[in-house]
């Protein structure tokens, strides 16, 4: 895994945004009920997708290190809003697989340290914002 990542979002009209990472593109949008065209997942769904997919990979990695498999593995993330704030106050990660409960519980605990997204969200994350003016013109 690279030490640094770059993801670029470009406005596509309305609420739709083209998101480019490495050689992959996806569209993020809002549902019609929020004024979007529903042409792709919402950014908050992408956040949960990042956590679910990364933790799923971490579980596969933790199991493989122990010579085990996790048949029918799936990871579900449920997000609960923090009151009326524009953020989530709780993310619930549920792992499911066709193995014994105690075995899966051990692997969940072990996998937690391999999940980049979990590790990032669990720490004090510094987010910095920088405006860059391409050409001076008033916003319409």
Smallest Cα–Cα separation from 122: which of 76, 94, 90? Answer: 90
The mean pLDDT of 53-68, rounded to a whole number, is 97
pLDDT, average across residues 2-28: 94
Confidence of residue 133 (pLDDT cuts 50, 70, 90): confident
Q: Where are the domains of the chain?
A: 1-41, 43-123
Cβ–Cβ under 8 Å, residues 73 and 95: yes
Return the CATH fold of 43-123. Answer: GMP Synthetase; Chain A, domain 3 (3.30.300)
Q: Flag whether the pTM goes above 0.85.
A: yes
Q: 82-92: per-residue pLDDT in tens? A: 999 999 999 99
Instruction: Give, to the nearest 10 degrees, the angle between helix 101-111 and helix 43-65.
Output: 110
Q: Does the pLDDT value for residue 3 go beyond 90? A: no
Q: Cα–Cα distance between 71 and 100 in angstroms, integer?
A: 11
- CA gap 106, 52 in Å, rounded: 18
R_g of the chain computed on alpha carbons? 19
């Amino acid at each position: 895994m690279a030490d640094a990542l770059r993801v670029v979002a470009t406005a596509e009209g309305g609420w739709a945004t083209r998101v480019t990472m490495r050689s992959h593109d996806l569209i993020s949008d809002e549902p019609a009920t929020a004024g979007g065209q529903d042409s792709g997942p919402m950014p908050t769904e992408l956040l949960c997708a990042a956590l679910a997919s990364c933790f799923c990979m971490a579980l596969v990695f933790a199991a493989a290190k122990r010579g085990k498999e996790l048949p029918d593995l799936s990871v579900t993330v449920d997000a609960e809003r923090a009151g009326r704030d524009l953020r989530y106050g709780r993310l619930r990660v549920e792992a499911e697989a066709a193995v014994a409960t105690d075995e899966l519980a051990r692997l969940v605990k072990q996998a937690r340290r391999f999940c980049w997204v979990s590790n990032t969200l669990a720490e004090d994350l510094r987010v910095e914002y920088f405006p860059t003016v391409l050409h001076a013109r008033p916003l319409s």
